[in-house]
A = this chain, B = another copy of it.
Amino acid sequence: MSLTRNHKGHILAGGGLSEPSVSRLIIYKRLLLELAKKGTHSVFSHQMARRVNTSPEQIRRDLMGIGSDGRPTRGYQVLELEKRISTFLESARPEPAALVGLGNVGRALLAYAAGRLPSLRITAAFDINPVRISHPIYGCPCHHARDMARVVRENGITAGILAVPGSAAQAVANELFAAGVRNLLNFADARLQVPAEVFVDHVDIGVSLEKFAYFARRNSSAPE
């Protein structure tokens, strides 16, 4: 195979967008939906830039990646642009995903996904705590972790979201891979060992907090 991946494992080849560009496009999409709701029909790159704290050039560059369609002195059509971004970022059907771990983080994810997440649908959740799986949460059926492999396999789920303690993360991940999961979003504070063909992304709240502390300190001790 030997796919073109960047150093973090993201596949960029074939019209692929870079990771920072994808992040920003998601934010632009949000802004455009907000503007549309307010009845705004068109918008300039410098107006968008002010709202999301970037430069107009950055925005135009990002939009190039999905085929810009702005017009000089007229700007971009809000709804049209939003649709264009969505087409690039989302598939026709949301990817079914399994969520493992229904602690605070897991529940926060379910709450978010239940509302507005067109690209991913959490179709099954798992935990080992019986009280957490006694009834569906935000409409998502909750199972005991012992049934995980079976449910994942039966539903052909290929995406997993890990919100378990770091100490359990690798074991759960291995079980998911064995059940056919090829994409994993890991919220646990542990780096995972994964087979070459699986894509992993990490959201490490502990790292975020410590990194923030580092730069905050540098900002605080900076000259006024």
A182 at the interface (CB under 8 A from B): yes
A26 at the interface (CB under 8 A from B): yes
B219 touches A183 (CB 8 A): yes
| Bound-complex Cα distance A23 to B116 (A) | 29
Q: Which of A38-46, A76-84, A105-113, A141-149 contacts B (4 or more CB under 8 A)?
A: A105-113
A213 touches B158 (CB 8 A): no
A30 touches B189 (CB 8 A): yes
Which chain A residues have a beta carbon within 8 Å of chain B's beta carbons? 1, 3, 10-11, 16-17, 19, 22-23, 26-27, 30-31, 51-53, 89-91, 94-95, 103-105, 107-109, 111-113, 116-117, 119-120, 158-159, 161, 182-183, 185, 189, 191-193, 197-199, 201, 203-220, 222-224
The distance from the CB of A100 to the nearest CB of chain B, in whole angstroms, is: 15
Q: What 11 new A-B contacts, CB under 8 Å, besides A1-B224, A108-B108?
A: A11-B215, A26-B211, A27-B207, A53-B193, A95-B213, A95-B220, A104-B107, A158-B220, A159-B212, A182-B220, A183-B215
Give the chain B neighbours of A206 by CB distance below 8 A: 26, 112, 116-117
Give the chain B neighbours of A189 by CB distance below 8 A: 30, 112
| Bound-complex Cα distance A64 to B174 (A) | 34
| Bound-complex Cα distance A215 to B105 (A) | 22
Closest to A54 in B: B7
The distance from the CB of A44 to the nearest CB of chain B, in whole angstroms, is: 17
| Bound-complex Cα distance A212 to B161 (A) | 10
Give 10 closest A-B pairs by Cβ, nearest first.
A119-B213, A183-B216, A104-B108, A199-B219, A120-B213, A185-B212, A11-B218, A104-B107, A52-B191, A104-B104
- Which of A23, A31, A208, A219 counts the most chain B CB atoms within 10 A? A219
| Bound-complex Cα distance A94 to B105 (A) | 24
Which residue of B105, B208, B218 contacts A201 across the interface (Cβ within 8 Å)?
A: B208
| Bound-complex Cα distance A89 to B103 (A) | 29
Closest to A200 in B: B53
B109 touches A108 (CB 8 A): no
B209 touches A113 (CB 8 A): yes
Take A95-B216, A95-B217 as given contacts and tell me if A205 and B108 are in contact as well, using a CB distance cutoff of 8 Å.
yes
